[in-house]
Amino acid sequence: MTTTTAPSAPTGVAGEMSFLDRFLPVWIIAAMILGLALGRLVPGLNQALESMSVAGISLPIAIGLLVMMYPVLAKVRYDETRRITADRKLMVLSLVLNWILGPALMFTLAWLLLADLPEYRTGLIIVGLARCIAMVFIWNDLACGDREAAAVLVALNSVFQVLAFGALGWFYLQVLPSWLGLPVTSAEFSVGAIVLSVLVFLGIPLLAGFLTRTFGERAKGRDWYENRFLPRIGPFAMYGLLFTIVLLFALQGEAITSSPWDVARIALPLLAYFVGMFLLSLFVARAVGLNYAKSTTVAFTASGNNFELAIAVAIGTFGVTSGQALAGVVGPLIEVPVLVGLVYVSLWLAKRLFPGDPTVPARREQKVTA
């Protein structure tokens, strides 16, 4: 009789997944299909959902995103974020990836693959300028990234989003095409819409998470807060995610299903962008000496996009039936399943790229008797 060891699933967030987490790709695909079916089969549903908007922000979608983000941001140990802000290499790398490499890559892919479709091309460039706020916390948490780093980097890039979105939109739609002898696109972006998006989709859940941890620990202690309270609210992040996906696809179900070839054309550069940006960011972060947890966080914050803002800007600037708006809508159609897949890619690459790194999710050793 011999005894061997066989590894099982990673520990941490990924290794101790609940039933909901383990089959997340299945639930996400089901939510997308349900949303598309509802949008296509229920008369007037998208108009009803669109009517529930304030200042261009859909209230049902806002509720879904806030429910999704709150449990994740309540997990952040805010007293440990000082170590992140002191890491200048991490901060600078994130800014370079998000505001130099990301928009440039999307601009290149849009012109290479959609040169004959100017409306879709412009929509993709806008998607590339809207850096991630909401769903990155879910993907980062599932991949065992650094929660505190995610909170700091998202906040940092949100500030830059307010300052840089309009200027970069002008550069990539007018200045750079003019330099390259390409057609230019005129567009004026609402600074107010950008600020409102950041305040609603980051400010509210960030403040709620901070206050919950502060007063929760003060009243009951950290042990109770992390071992009793957080497990109770944790599942709501997934409920919020699935609810949001159903709503997003219900809103645009008719547009997506009535133009399958256009959706496929838009999907190709988006797929290349998300995968290429993630892998490039992960390898660059490793090359500059960041550990697995921080490298993963950098990769997800650089590859994800703020589709809420991109859709709002495209609709506000070009109209709800425009090709630019459709390109924005296709963004989460591709981003959600691809980034879920990249969670598993990051876990698979962890020990191969970061041998001996203590932040790599450990693997339980199970005794197997033969």
Residue 15 placed within a domain:
no
Q: Using CB atoms within 10 Å of the CB of residue 9, give its burial: 0 to 12 exposed, 13 to 18 middle, 19+ buried.
A: middle
Residue 15: what pLDDT? Answer: 45
How many domains in the chain?
1
What span, in angstroms and rounded, lies between the C-alpha atoms of 312 and 305? 13
Distant-in-sequence, close-in-space partners of 257: CB < 8 Å, separation ≥ 6: 36, 39, 40
Domain residue limits at 191: 20-350
Nearest 5°: phi and psi at 144? Answer: 65, 35
Asked if the structure places residue 365 within a domain, the reply is no
| Stated pTM of the model | 0.80
Mean pLDDT in runs of 10 for the chain (370 residues)?
Answer: 38 50 77 85 76 72 84 86 84 95 96 93 92 82 91 87 86 92 79 75 86 94 92 88 83 73 92 97 96 96 85 74 81 86 93 93 46
CATH number at residue 335: 1.20.1530.20
Distance CA 173, CA 168 (A): 8
User: For residue 145, what pLDDT is reported?
Assistant: 93
Helix and strand counts by DSSP (H, E) for the chain = 22, 4
CB burial of 134-147 (b: ≥16 within 10 Å; e: otherwise) equals bbbbbbbbbbbbbb
> Could you report how far apart the first and last alpha carbons of the chain are, in Å?
6
Helix (H, G, I), strand (E, B) or coil at 273: helix
pLDDT at 303: 94
Confirm whether 369 is domain-assigned: no
- Is the torsion defined by CA of 133, 82, 232, 341 positive or negative? positive
303 and 277 Cβ atoms separated by less than 8 Å: yes
Residue 40 lies inside a defined structural domain of this protein? yes
* CB contact at 8 A, 35 and 247: yes
Pairwise CA distance, residues 337 & 260, whole Å: 18
pLDDT at 369 (0 to 100) = 35
Q: Cα–Cα distance between 170 and 168 in angstroms, integer?
A: 5
